[in-house]
Structure 1
Amino acid sequence: MSAAVHDGRFARAVAAVGRASARHRFVVIGAWVLLVAALLTSARLIGTPTDNDVSLPGTDAQLVRDLTTSASAPLTSGTVILVTEQGRLDDEARSGVVAATAAALRGTEHVTTVKPPSTRDGSLSADGRTGWFTVGMDVRRAELTKPVARTVTDAARPAADAGLRVLPGGAFAQVVDGSGSTGNEYFGLILAALVLFLALGGIVGALLPLLASGLSVLATLETVGLAGNLTSMPAVASTLALMVGLGVGIDYSLFLLSRFRTLTRSGLSVPDAIERSVADSGTAVAVAGVTVAVALAGLGLTEVPLLRTLAWTCGIAVTFAVLAALTLLPALTSLAGTRLARGGRLHRRLTSRAGSGFWARQADRVTRRPWLAGGLALVLLALLAAPATDLRLGQLDAGSSPEVTAVRQANDAISAAFGPGTGTPLTVLGQVSTPVTDAKDPRVGRFVAMVRDQPEVAAVGPVTPTADGLAFAVQVVPSTAGGDPATADLVHRLRERSVPEVTVHVGGTTAARVDLADRVSDKLPLVIAVVLLLSVAVLLLTFRAPLLALKAAVMDFISIGAAYGVLTAVFTWGWGVTWIGLSGPVPVPSFVPLMLFALLFGLSMDYEVFLLSDVRRRWTQTRDNLRSVREGLLGTGGVITAAATIMVGVFLAFVPNNDPTIKMFGVGMAVAIAVDATVVRCLLVPATMAMLGDRNWWTPGRKRLPA
């Protein structure tokens, strides 16, 4: 591949794709429309199920889950919570209402079992004011849709008519909340349209990138949705794919159209300008897409299904974005023709002074005093990254969600009545070598006594043996919430306890998250090392300049450090956290920094590749490093600024999402892109290239690069 990229064969191949797409524009546009229509139709017919239930093979929590799962258990279960302000749910005045509600729930479609609130199983609070129905369903968790969950909750009409508060809980609350979207994502598109209008001039210039990225995003979302029928698909996957797909899709289109506009102004015809722009910027787009894919592929080393799923769903988004930029956009550009080439009056007025504007002055300042500019950039980045030293990883629970969400309201009601750990019980399991015949077995007694004696244990449920008697389990309610570090400590402490003739295992949602954190922590150094090496390899194959490739990777690493710092300040320290819809500081899940690293390393490389491709093109013509850096910064300054503004706007538009994890991704990715496109690209990159001089382009075994 290196030779192909280096000597122009790869660029010519990419240009041939663009030329063919422009020549057969109606075929290409029709093919994209048919593809999206087919995916949309398939999604409506087959469905796009989501499942937030995370498995983690090879862990203690997964072992407990496998041993305690019964074939006769409902496919899915959720809860319907009742709260009364006066009296008790089991007194004479309300027992009839509870019975009528149970009968209504049993008569609801897909409901198989209903267990009313009872003090015997702990589903009725001590004061009798709060309780829940456990509702079994005959649909898989992935097939539990919002309308079905709403139907179950609405069936509790007898309780609501009697003045009781009715809340969905468990799986029902999760489904009702869905992806957490608040509709604010459209503001990102509005900002993108405005920036595109200013950058490319006129409505046509703004419309083409939105149309190309819109079709690629639709293809992405429907493909990801359909994949939910084959594998467990968390709701966050489609939201994250949407964020990435919109950001890179619009950016890639902007890179290509800006180059097209420059070439048409230089006198090239529309067909020639399309072919040349795809050869130049299209090659950079393809390399940037490969870099993102490589960074995401590194997440496969974690052996965590959740991260693998998020990685390949985002990879699908990037793949469709690259394909749309190299095929659909040239076809649309050919269709727009000279109307796009001319641009609007505002665009011509803004670009007429480009040679004497900000970027010309900035390029001159940085390359004249590279040590000063580089030092200032490092100081700014160090200040932004400093809080990351206090980054505290933990577990999110329902109490971390905004107060308007169903899961938070259910959690608050249950926690107030039963205690903070009721919503996240642990399943503590004992394995034995010979079957347990009854609960009076001394091994069971020793096991239960050990569990009861642990601090932070509020209640221990009855013993439930497995069918073969070789294991038995108890439900343990912690005295602390699922997201509290003390609950994670309880999980570790229980697993370390020794009971004669019994092997102790701990499962449940909190235990699974503890196992996830441990797995991620163990694999973190390996993933970072592999992503760095593979990304440097891609850049080395592209530019065949070792110092340039290594420097680009270091620049991206620095940008990510700044994002971690802001993430810590907002979510761990609570700076401005109420402004983004949370009631206070929340822990950062263990997988978020690793996922952010892979995503940001790839996305930040987009601007690096685009800038370096332009600088290298000028270097091969002039052999003057300083001039090439100045002209490269000048030539790409406006378009990278516009692209970064769009991407930052898209990411920030997802911050109002009700899912705290999406808020973290939105804040972290927006900060990293903003820092990369300003401090790193405007100061650090040109300063280091000016200091390195011709060493930027040194290639082992060669004295100079071929022209």
Structure 2
Amino acid sequence: MNSHLVWDGDPMASLLGRLGEWCARHGRLVLALWITLAVALTAGTLVFGRPTSNDVSIPGTDAQRAHELMRDGFGPGYDPGGSVQLVLYSPDGPLIAKERKRAVEDAMAEIRRLPHVVQIDGPYRAGGLAANLEIGVIGVRLSGHDQDKVAETTAQISAAAEPVRRAGIEAVPANSGTPADKEIKSGASEIIGVICALLVLLFAFGTLVAALVPIFTAGISLGVGLGVIGLLGHLVDVPKQAPVMASMIGLGVGIDYALFLLSRHRKLLADGVPVHESVRRTASGAGGAVLFAGGTVVIALSALLLAGFPLLRTLGWLTGISVICAVLTSLTLVPALLGILGHRVNALRLPLSGTRRDAAHAAGSGWSRLGVWVAGRPWRVLAITAVVLGGLAAPALGLRLGPIDEGYADRGQPERRAYELMETGFGPGVNGPLLVVGEPAAPVRASDPPAPVVAELGDRLADLPGVAHVAPAKVNDSGRAVLVQVVPEYAPSDPRAADLVHEVRSMDVPGMRLHVGGKVAGMTDASDRIAERTPTVIGVVVLLSALLLLLAFRAPLVAIKAALMNLISLGAAFGALAIVFSFGIGSHLVGLDPPVSASASYVATVFFTVPIDSYVPVMLFAVLFGLSMDYEVFLLTSVRQAYLRSGDNRRAVAEGLGATGRVITSAALIMVAVFVAFIAYPDPVVKVFGVGLAVAIAVDATIIRGLLVPATMVLLGRLNWWCPPWLDRLLPNISVAEHADDEPEPAPEPVLAGSRG
């Protein structure tokens, strides 16, 4: 059959082929347009800034209602982000000494002169000094300030406290957020990831020019994606994690997609196909696989819109922007570069590259031999891999979820120092107080003694197990809101703090409706909302991804099996997270320091647990499910094309694995290198993502795609590609793997154990 007839029968492949060929023939124009776009967007973010905001509000929750009552009833200074604390520590003596007290008062006077400061609570008030008199707290309430610039306001307040520092007193600004709320600044991780990726590409291609094409393409894609995300900060609340997540995912998929296209193009050039024809075939075949692979990632991330957590929802679709940019550059910029370079894509061979082609052939033969071996004993391979994967996933049952507090932040950060000083001086619960807001049935007055209903509220709160301290109640001017600060006995990350939130909410105080706000309450509501929506997110991701695979291969069993395989690799990733963070085996190796409460024990400094924010597993699920589908699409495409040539299922599986094994392995190595590099970030949430993504991709590209998928495909035989006639008539003709004649003549049939499938 003439291959052009096949393209004409597949509108998508024909369109991608024409697009790729046009870009190759107008390469300099396409290259100039992409560079101009990347430079313009980057310049725009430099000129107009890239504002970020971690608005963790969840409409409809009890914590949100409490915050609204505090803001409306007591003013913006009582709203989250409306106050700043300075923690004082005097190592040379008590803060009540005359000279130190004068220095503290001078600092408070300087702070009072700052704009937006409406109230200052000094350390010499009830509850402002620790029992050792060496640790104290200055509370600053603000009004009329930009809550998206709390970091700048905090820095100004800290700078105004210079008089206490001259007196030998340490002054550290505290923050009521979590490590996830802090701005994550780009560092060396992206550079390390790019260098590791370049080394893998040099080994895979053997030429410097070919290795630089995916790096350059991913760089342009990342520049455009981050520029769009940065400018969107002026229109929507962009989470502070969005740029680093976009960098992590966008860099990995951008290099991988270009790698798949380049590998296909170089193979066609080696077979004597002209440059522009090779680009057209590459774009129509491998380009279609890239389009579907990127589509699965975007669909998985888009499912986070159903998570019920605004921060997670925004983080999902913003990260998807980087994936879309990676797909667009792969389908347009890569063909343009290939057209410009022509046969020079193989220029600048590395030393010893004369043996590179032989080495590549040997590597391909190695994967072919593995494919033959798996195809000859599928039941044995299936049993062994099931045991191994079950062992990797088993620790996931012990995964510890919960809010992560400043006790796990980088030891060099002022937020952690303030957290540790507060815990030492006032107990762990002071870092996460509960803000109980009561709505009286009838207005009450601020009085001494307090009104009976207010007094009963305070007494009932003080009697609860786990409550360390209850501050005097505050009644607003209208008498419609009562505010009580409750300090638990537990740190914010302790699960018992969340239990206390639920217990306070379940209290029945006659004549008073209770709401609980604050950091712990907000994270508790987020966890509850995400737990409630997680089954929906998982179901939508699995269903839509399987549907996309069905469109790509017109094979229902293949689509269902691929979804199940991805769930298995996810189990291995969560098992690794549990081992490192929930069981504490290796937590020190990923750069985390134990909280001060655990530092006294040597064992605790080596093995200590770290809670994982409740939104992280859902986000990881969406990202990993999409990324795992990438390798599934490329492997199945090759197997399907081999099957169309020979009609022999066993042979097709062996040939497909042999043809894609080296490329998929190289792509996986690049992904793993990028994700491991991000573990160096000081932010614990980024470390969790780095570990989970690296382990999942490593397992997926080796055990899953190299052993389990081929074994199950051999066992299913011709059922792999079975499709009911009625379904076949309904599906649009957009398959990515129907181009059997695109391939060169097949190699001699490998010798397989067993009969033909």
Band the TM-score falls in, shorter-chain normalisation: over 0.9
Q: Distance in 2 between matches of 1:629 and 1:5?
A: 24
Q: Which amino acid aligns with 1:463?
A: A
Match of 2:51 in 1: 49
Q: Which residue of 1 aligns with 2:642?
A: 618
Classify the secondary structure of the residue corresponding to 1:282: helix
2:564 equivalent among 529, 554, 559 = 554
Name the aligned partner's letter for residue 25 of structure 2: R
Does 2:434 match 1:426?
yes
Q: Distance in 1 between matches of 2:442 and 2:168?
A: 53
After superposition, the C-alpha distances for 1:328-359 in whole angstroms (9 at most, x for unaligned) are 11112222221114673555623325455321
1:228-273 per-position Cα deviation (integer Å, ceiling 9, x unaligned): 2223322222211111011111101101111111111011111111
Q: Which amino acid aligns with 2:659?
A: G
Q: Give the conservation status (yes or no) of the 8 Å contact 1:106–1:112.
A: yes
The correspondence of residues 443-482 of structure 1 with structure 2, limited to 5 A, is 443-482=453-492
Does residue 1:662 correspond to 2:686, yes or no? yes
Are residue 216 (structure 1) and residue 221 (structure 2) matched? yes
TM-score (norm 1): 0.95
1:639-650 alignment, distance < 5 Å: 639-650=663-674
1:312 aligns with 2:323: no
Specify the alignment match of 1:258 in structure 2: 263
CA contact (8 A) 2:178 2:405 kept: no
3-state secondary structure, aligned to 2:94: coil
Deviates more, 1:391-400 or 1:541-550: 391-400
Moved more, 350-359 or 482-491: 350-359
- Alpha-carbon separation, structure 1, partners of 2:485 and 2:274: 73
Distance 1:155 1:275 in 2: 64
The residue type equivalent to 2:486 in the other structure is V
Match of 1:92 in 2: 98
Out of 301, 304, 309, the position equivalent to 2:306 is 301
**Farther-moved stretch of structure 1 (329-338 vs 531-540):** 329-338
Which of 307, 327, 331 is equivalent to 1:326? Answer: 331
Partner of 2:716: 692
| Shift, 1:366, TM fit | 0.7
Distance change (3 Å), C-alpha of 1:403 and 1:5:
farther
Q: Which amino acid aligns with 2:333?
A: L
Give per-residue Cα distances to partners, 1:85-119, cap 9 Å, x unaligned: 133223312122112222333455x5534625334
Where do residues 104-143 of structure 1 align in structure 2 (5 Å cutoff)? Answer: 104-107=110-113, 110=115, 112-113=117-118, 115-120=120-125, 122-136=127-141, 139-143=145-149
- Residue 295 of structure 2: aligned partner: 290
> What number of residue pairs does the alignment pair up?
702
Q: 672-681 or 17-26, which moves further after superposition?
A: 17-26
Query: What do the CA deviations read for 1:556-615 (whole angstroms, capped 9, x no partner)?
Result: 110000001111111000011111112221112111111111110000110000111111
1:248–1:318 contact (8 Å) kept in structure 2: yes
* Residue range with higher mean Cα deviation, 558-567 or 96-105: 96-105
Q: Distance in 2 between matches of 1:18 and 1:159?
A: 66
CA distance in 2, matches of 1:243, 1:97: 47
Query: What's the RMSD between the two structures over aligned residues?
Result: 2.4
1:96-152 deviation digits (Å, cap 9, x = unpaired): 2112222333455x5534625334253332332112333455542323456x64444
Instruction: Within 5 Å, give how 1:55-204 maps onto structure 2.
Output: 55-70=57-72, 72-73=75-76, 76-107=82-113, 110=115, 112-113=117-118, 115-120=120-125, 122-136=127-141, 139-144=145-150, 149-170=154-175, 178-179=183-184, 183-204=188-209
2:568 maps to 1:567: no
- In structure 1, the residue corresponding to 2:680 is in which secondary structure? coil
Letter in 1 for 2:553: F
Deviation readout 1:683-702 (Å, 9 max, x if unpaired)? 00111111111110101118
Name which of structure 1's ranges 399-408 and 384-393 shifts more when overlaid on structure 2: 399-408
CA distance in 2, matches of 1:438, 1:190: 65
Maintained 8 Å contact 1:403/1:409: yes
Any residues of structure 2 matched to 1:484-499 within 5 Å, and which? 484-499=494-509
How much has 1:507 moved relative to structure 2?
A: 0.9
Q: Which residue of 1 aligns with 2:625?
A: 601
TM-score normalised by the chain length of structure 2? 0.88
Q: Given the superposition, is the C-alpha separation of residues 196 and 282 from structure 1 closer, same or farther in structure 2, using an over 3 Å criterion?
A: same
2:10 to 8, 11, 16: 8
Given that residues 104 and 164 in structure 2 are in contact (C-alpha distance below 8 angstroms), is that contact kept between their aligned partners in structure 1?
A: yes
The letter of the residue matching 2:314 is T
Distance 1:190 1:131, change over 3 A: same
CA positional deviation for 1:5: 10
- The answer to whether 1:268 aligns with 2:273 is yes
| AA at the equivalent of 1:406 | P
Decide whether aligned partners of structure 1 residues 131 and 140 sit closer, same or farther in structure 2, where only a CA change above 3 A counts. same
Residue of structure 2 equivalent to 1:510 = 520
Summarize the Cα distance change of 1:373–1:490 in structure 2 as closer, same or farther, 3 Å threshold: same
Going from structure 1 to structure 2, the CA distance change for 1:52 and 1:124 (only over 3 Å counts) comes to farther
Distance 1:5 1:244 in 2: 32
Q: Where in structure 1 are there 5+ consecutive unaligned residues?
A: none
Superposition deviation, residue 422 in structure 1: 0.9
Instruction: Give the corresponding residue for 1:19.
Output: 21
Task: Map 1:327-406 to 2 at 5 A.
Answer: 327-341=332-346, 344=349, 346=352, 349-356=355-362, 357-406=365-414
Cα distance between partner residues in 2 of 1:157 and 1:626 = 75
